Amino acid sequence: MEPFNKLEGVAAPLNMINVDTDMIIPKQYLKTIHRTGLGKALFDEMRHNQDGSEKPDFVLNKPAYRGAKILVTGDNFGCGSSREHAPWALLDFGIRCVIAPSFADIFYGNCFKNGILPIKLPQEQVDKLMDDASRGANAIISIDLEKQEIRGPDGGMITFEVDEFRKQCLLNGWDDIGLTLRNEDKVTSFEKQQKTQTPWI
């Protein structure tokens, strides 16, 4: 998993509440077990017409936001079914941070496990960042995970809270496999001991 330390990029405003995982990545795209290639299907029904053409009014189809790295959105983001493909699609599109007043619990945890920083902020601070994000190509927001700070295009600063263990995992790029491999020597030692003590297994 790619480490997350500092991020600077365009923030896209998606001023919607209760965006569920089927809206993020529709069910027909869940057949794959690969984490790549899903960015083209992110928000598929909102981004595309039935013939596959783009809907020009959708925020991520607008030229200023095609390269957005940050998504500022509404309450209860990521609700619905617990598909890990949702953060996969966001990450493959290029989104490394989602800012909202609240998230569905499973989606929130899946973000950390896949290298995305989900930030919970009070509604009034989200509203300020949503306004900042409406500036288009000038909607540059900087995020410093180590300092837990967000800086808007006008230089204003907002602090945010994050669980210390999850913070360290993101800073170091540790997903669940990476965390296990940190104890590879202990796992190897245990397996050798088991073979000696219980050779019939």
CATH code at 35?
A: 3.20.19.10
pLDDT score, position 138: 85
Residue 65, domain extent: 6-174
Is residue 157 situated within a structural domain? yes
Total of domains in the chain: 1
Is residue 201 situated within a structural domain? no
CB 97 within 8 Å of CB 109: no
pLDDT score, position 195: 78
Is residue 63 situated within a structural domain? yes
Is residue 82 situated within a structural domain? yes
CB 86 within 8 Å of CB 109: no
Is residue 183 situated within a structural domain? no
Q: How many angstroms separate the CA atoms of 91 and 82, rounded?
A: 16
pTM for the complete prediction?
0.89
CB 11 within 8 Å of CB 149: no
Average pLDDT over residues 159-170: 97
DSSP 170: H
Is residue 100 situated within a structural domain? yes
Is residue 62 situated within a structural domain? yes
pLDDT score, position 197: 81
Any idea which of 72-86, 122-136, 149-163, 185-199 has the lowest mean pLDDT? 185-199
**SS3 call for 72:** strand
Only one residue has tokens 């600063």, namely 157
Encoding tokens for residue 36? 């790549």
- Name the band, by pLDDT with cuts 50, 70 and 90, for residue 33: confident
- Name the band, by pLDDT with cuts 50, 70 and 90, for residue 187: confident
What own/partner pairs with CB < 8 Å and gap ≥ 24 does 182-191 have? Answer: none
pLDDT score, position 199: 77
